[in-house]
């Protein structure tokens, strides 16, 4: 089965491979995302992942398409990717010493069959000094990350604890994805075993 990841995120590519899926193409969605204002974070990420998936699937109807979208939510405010270093620093100030929720929407589609779900993980930051925030922003890492941090990178030193799926915070809830793929007859562990055995 032809598998397409509708994302240019290197983290999502790496996580697919960690699951045991190595034979896939990367074809990111290019269209403008349109969402209704006022959507709750869970609904928002589901809608965005569905739009990305549908766009790529329309051009490749025979393929199994995987799409995801991730945001950070705190105080009913949604934090996407920062547009500037100043915006990144402001987001990190908001997160400092507090708990927030990371939401990822996930859509898997093949032909007319599609499933959309979301995952939510609570993350708690330690209290950060202004200097720590400035130095972290200076690394450049926050600029392409929802909520202005990467838990798998330098941002790991900011996180005091999590409750839920770690990989969801990275950007792809792999356990939930494996369950969705099973509905299409795709078993990542079987694919991994075949690769390891050289068959």
Catalytic residue flag (residue 69): yes
* pTM: predicted TM-score of the whole model, two decimal places: 0.91
Percent of the chain with pLDDT over 70: 98
- The residue-averaged pLDDT of 134-144 equals 97
Mean pLDDT calculated for residue range 30-41: 80
Handedness of CA 58, 30, 10, 106 (dihedral sign): negative
Ramachandran region, residue 112 (left: φ > 0; alpha: ψ -120 to 50; beta: rest): alpha
Structural domain boundaries, residue 123: 3-197
Count of domains in the chain?
1
Q: Among residues 54, 69, 138, 165, which one is catalytic? A: 69
Closest CA to 79 of 68, 94, 67: 94
């Amino acid at each position: 089965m032809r598998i397409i990841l509708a994302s240019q995120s290197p983290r999502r590519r790496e996580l697919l491979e960690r699951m045991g899926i190595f034979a896939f193409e990367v074809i990111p969605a290019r269209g403008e995302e349109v969402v209704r204002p006022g959507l709750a974070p869970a609904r928002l990420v589901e809608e965005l992942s569905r739009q990305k998936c549908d766009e790529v699937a329309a051009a490749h109807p025979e393929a199994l398409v995987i799409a995801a979208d991730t945001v950070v939510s705190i105080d009913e405010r949604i934090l996407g990717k920062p547009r500037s270093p100043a915006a990144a620093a402001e987001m990190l100030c908001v997160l400092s010493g507090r708990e927030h929720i990371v939401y990822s929407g996930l859509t898997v589609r093949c032909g007319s069959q599609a499933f959309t779900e979301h995952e939510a993980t609570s993350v708690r930051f330690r209290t950060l000094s202004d200097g720590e925030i400035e130095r972290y922003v200076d690394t450049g890492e926050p600029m392409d990350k929802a909520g202005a941090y990467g838990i798998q990178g330098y941002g790991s030193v900011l996180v005091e604890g999590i409750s839920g799926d770690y990989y969801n915070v990275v950007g792809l809830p792999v356990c939930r994805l494996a369950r969705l793929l099973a509905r299409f007859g795709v078993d990542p562990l079987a694919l991994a075993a075949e690769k390891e055995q050289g068959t």
